[in-house]
Structure 1
Amino acid sequence: MPRLSASTELPADVAASGYDRALLKPGILHIGLGAFHRAHQAVYTDAALAAEFGDWGIVGVSLRSVDIVRDLAAQDGVYSVVASSAAGDRAQVVGSVIRGLSGTEDQAEILALLADPTIRIVTITVTEKAYGIDPVSGGLDRNHPSVMADLADPTSPTGVIGYLVEGFSRRHAAGLPPFTVLCCDNLPTNGRIVRKLVIEMAGAGDPALANWIAAQGAFPSSMVDRIVPAATDVTRALAEKLIGAEDRLALSTEPFMQWVVEDHFLAGRPKWEAGGALFVDDVEPYEKMKLRLLNGSHSLVAYLGQLKDLTFVRDVMAVPEYRALVRRHMAEAVKTLDPVPGIDLDGYMDQLIERFENPTIAHKTQQIAMDGTQKLPQRIFAGAVEALANGGDASSAAYVVALWIAYVRKVAEINDPRATELKAAAAGMTADDPSAPFFAIAGLFPQALTENGAWRARVNAELEKL
């Protein structure tokens, strides 16, 4: 089977880029060239370019991996995305990514692009743990490996914040305007968080640079949503069948996708609304909705699945009792939300259940379960604090915390940046107050939860049942 490339003749039922890729020039640098970006922002950009062509090609950066960069080069930057549901499979070949670069091999070129005024937007999907956020202060974690390295040697960055700061530094020195930074990770008010981290790192070495970024920079927040499981041989085989070519970068996803963005860009942007993106003045209501209803429920499903040896989200949802637990959690979480403009929350929750049940999406509970210390604060803890403050009992949130603790106790090796602390807490569990070592982990739980004896007793009661 021939390898997919820009010259591949695709079947008539496969959607292809509706523009001339030979004319496409870079305007976006994306950091975090993983599956989610390629099935989400790159798809939106493909639609934007078809609707209104411009210099908005994407240069994708993988800070660590070189394999994806080489695979992209071998395929002229194109790859397939297969959206699957019970109704069938629909394939498209995406062409908005011009090329890939690796932080391990192409640092100089990445920095040169960050300094190049043709790059007007830097988008990011690197997951929560890559930012180096101190769980206590909310600022930079000075013990995070990439933060330490980039503070020590700012001109040779290794982490995402270090790259942004050095890119800003080069533009400032050259008298050029800054680029817009658009964070697309699951962090509440993600733009404001990244802005704070960038200004703090810049200020550590150059206060004038920090002041310039604070005055001139733009860090709009965004909310992103699409379920994109890790690709497997099954993914690649299905893509090959549909597109008639071998695609080592093929992705499987669901038909649904959503992108809500604060419309604050310094030098224009692609017409992402052509792909369905929603531009708003304040993204926070949408972020809270997604974090607490989708992501929070996903965490419940993940830890329950791991405890019950259920591999995929769809397997958990196939058990009526577990499906009811997800419904209960959503019913509790939705009470902590303000109205979301243009969204029927009851309909949104029904849609989430349908998406979780999608029989064609092989989303592993193990994948969702990783990095609990980075995910649960915004997905579960924040909502629990608000629920308790408003007279609720946050019982489902207590259940999710109990599931997570039981998961940490059960699984021999957990994937979490605070794994050592978590395993020490699990080893220190006692019969009378089993959750106490977890509540003692610095900066993990909000003070309102650590000091709420009744709610902690509820967590312990749920642990006893488990």
Structure 2
Amino acid sequence: MARLGVTAQLPAGRQPLVEPGSFNAGIVHLGLGAFHRAHQAVYTEAAMAASGGDWGIMGVAPRSQQVLSALAEQDYLFSVVTLGGGFGAKVVAAFKGGVHAGSDPASVIKLLSDPAIRVVTLTVTEKAYRVDSAIMRLLVAGLRVRGGAPITVLSCDNLPSNGEVLASVVLALAPELSSVTFPSCMVDRIVPATTQSTLDHAARDLGVEDLAAVAGEPFSQWVIEDHFAAGRPDWAAGGAQFTDDVTPWEHLKLRALNGVHSALAYLGALAGAHTIAEALQLPGMADLLRRYVANEVAVSLTPPEGADVIKYGESVLSRFANAELGHRTLQVAMDGTQKLPQRLLSVLNTVPSPELAALIAAGWAEFAASDNPLDDPFAERVREDLSTEALFGSEGVLPVPDAERRALIERWRREIAQHGVAAVVKAA
């Protein structure tokens, strides 16, 4: 089968929104993972289709060259397979080119120093936001060479106040970068890992092979703080929302969506569920999560104007029930020590009666103690001492300062150990 590229004859409705190569670069993106391609790249293509502008993306692969090589062989075209709703695969033309940071950091610095580049976006995962992170140091090196030319650096990673967090790292390394703005944003789309099934689906729909295809659910959301130093694409044309403050949206999404996602991952994996949709089908699980959102998450936050936490929670459960996504519980369970402070501890440590938040915390602890793989930067430390006090005490990886709340976690852990997680969920 022929490969996807600019000469490929694509079926009607599968073609990109813009002519490949008809735009110049205006964005550098750090991190070529599936989420960026299924989210920000889609919005950027829609922006150029609606309003023009040279906003092509230069993609930077920090480590692995696999995705970059596949894109280069396909003239930087790729497809997004929308799972559910009968949408199928559609080709996206948002990239102008790409660079591998690991083997050619000088080219990354040159890109970042180019005045034509007005926006840098990042999806590098939570654990990269450190002053000793190689990608952060490379970013700073490029920004320094700009000589004060204004630019916006936009974190698209799933952590609260991501713009402030990014600014604190960059400015700690280079306080002189006063011409750089760091807006925050909230991103949302379920993007499961690409599998052979994804590639097969793309090939069936397109009639050509696409080795850079990604999959995603029909839903997508992007809420962005409108604080740009040198212009921006018309992302609103693709459905993005601009606001003065993304914090209420962050809190709602992190606690009512990501927190529920983590609950399904840990409790589901312990019960033998391989996917999020399977975990949601466990007896009592959906009702438990509805009560968690209504009685604990809703109490912990002030929702965005016009948003209803209960309705939002229902929409989350509907999205998670999409079995076509095949979103693996073990994938969602990764990096719990980095994710749960925002997703779970923000509820567990603040609401008056965190009964179900404590159960979710106990689920994470028992998952860590199980034979399941623990893909986490603190895995070794976690498994050195799996006691509730070691994990959740003042010196633990997930601190819960209140002793009564730690006792509640310990009680749930004993229940799970004695009866099994499926029975505990059903009876909770």
1:357 Cα deviation from its structure 2 partner? 0.1
1:319 Cα deviation from its structure 2 partner? 2.1
Q: Which residue of 1 aligns with 2:256?
A: 293
Distance 1:184 1:414 in 2: 25
1:396 Cα deviation from its structure 2 partner? 1.4
Q: Which residue of 1 aligns with 2:163?
A: 191
The 5 A counterparts of 1:28-427 are: 28-85=27-84, 87-132=85-130, 140=131, 146-147=132-133, 159-172=134-147, 176-202=148-174, 210=175, 212-213=176-177, 215-331=178-294, 332-387=296-351, 392-411=352-371, 413-426=373-386
Worse overlay, 192-201 or 97-106: 97-106
Q: Which residue of 2 aligns with 1:150?
A: none
- Matched to 1:195, the amino acid is A
Distance 2:353 2:108 in 1: 49
Distance 1:95 1:298 in 2: 31
1:108 Cα deviation from its structure 2 partner? 1.0
Q: Check the 8 A contact 2:191/2:216 in 1, yes or no.
A: yes
- Matched to 1:411, the amino acid is D
Q: Which residue of 2 aligns with 1:6?
A: 6
Distance 1:320 1:443 in 2: 32
Q: Check the 8 A contact 2:71/2:77 in 1, yes or no.
A: yes
SS in 1 for 2:305: coil
Distance 1:360 1:116 in 2: 42
For residue 437 of structure 1, the aligned residue among 390, 411, 415 is: 390
Q: Which residue of 1 aligns with 2:423?
A: none
1:371 Cα deviation from its structure 2 partner? 0.4
- Matched to 1:358, the amino acid is N
- Matched to 2:7, the amino acid is S
1:443 Cα deviation from its structure 2 partner? 6.5
SS in 2 for 1:3: coil
Distance 2:331 2:274 in 1: 10
> Cα RMSD between the aligned structures?
1.4
Q: Check the 8 A contact 2:125/2:157 in 1, yes or no.
A: yes
Q: Which residue of 1 aligns with 2:419?
A: none
SS in 2 for 1:266: coil
Q: Which residue of 2 aligns with 1:206?
A: none
1:441 Cα deviation from its structure 2 partner? 6.9
1:46 Cα deviation from its structure 2 partner? 0.8
| Structure-2 change in CA distance of 1:413 and 1:320 (3 Å) | closer
For residue 453 of structure 1, the aligned residue among 403, 414, 418 is: 403
| Structure-2 change in CA distance of 1:443 and 1:108 (3 Å) | farther
1:412 Cα deviation from its structure 2 partner? 5.5
Distance 1:57 1:177 in 2: 19
Write out the 4+ residue segments of structure 1 that deviate beyond 4 Å after TM superposition. none
- Matched to 1:189, the amino acid is S
1:320 Cα deviation from its structure 2 partner? 3.4
Q: How many residues align?
A: 415
Distance 2:68 2:103 in 1: 10
1:11 Cα deviation from its structure 2 partner? 0.8
Q: Check the 8 A contact 1:4/1:245 in 2, yes or no.
A: yes
Can you give the 5+ residue segments of structure 1 that lack an aligned partner in the other structure? 133-139, 141-145, 148-158, 203-209, 430-434
1:33 Cα deviation from its structure 2 partner? 0.6
1:216 Cα deviation from its structure 2 partner? 2.4
Give deviations 1:172-191, integer Å, cap 9, x for gaps: 3xxx4142110011111000
Distance 1:342 1:24 in 2: 38
Q: Which residue of 2 aligns with 1:156?
A: none
Distance 2:198 2:225 in 1: 34
Q: Check the 8 A contact 1:373/1:444 in 2, yes or no.
A: yes
1:439 Cα deviation from its structure 2 partner? 2.2
SS in 2 for 1:456: helix
Q: Check the 8 A contact 2:34/2:214 in 1, yes or no.
A: yes
Distance 1:198 1:264 in 2: 17
Distance 1:341 1:74 in 2: 46
Q: Check the 8 A contact 1:82/1:251 in 2, yes or no.
A: yes
Q: Check the 8 A contact 1:399/1:462 in 2, yes or no.
A: yes
Give deviations 1:119-149, integer Å, cap 9, x for gaps: 11000001111223xxxxxxx4xxxxx44xx
Can you give the 5+ residue segments of structure 2 that lack an aligned partner in the other structure? 417-428
Q: Check the 8 A contact 1:79/1:95 in 2, yes or no.
A: yes
Q: Check the 8 A contact 1:316/1:323 in 2, yes or no.
A: no
TM-score (norm 1): 0.86
Worse overlay, 159-168 or 275-284: 159-168
1:89 Cα deviation from its structure 2 partner? 3.5
Distance 2:373 2:280 in 1: 25
Q: Check the 8 A contact 2:31/2:59 in 1, yes or no.
A: yes
Distance 2:244 2:350 in 1: 24
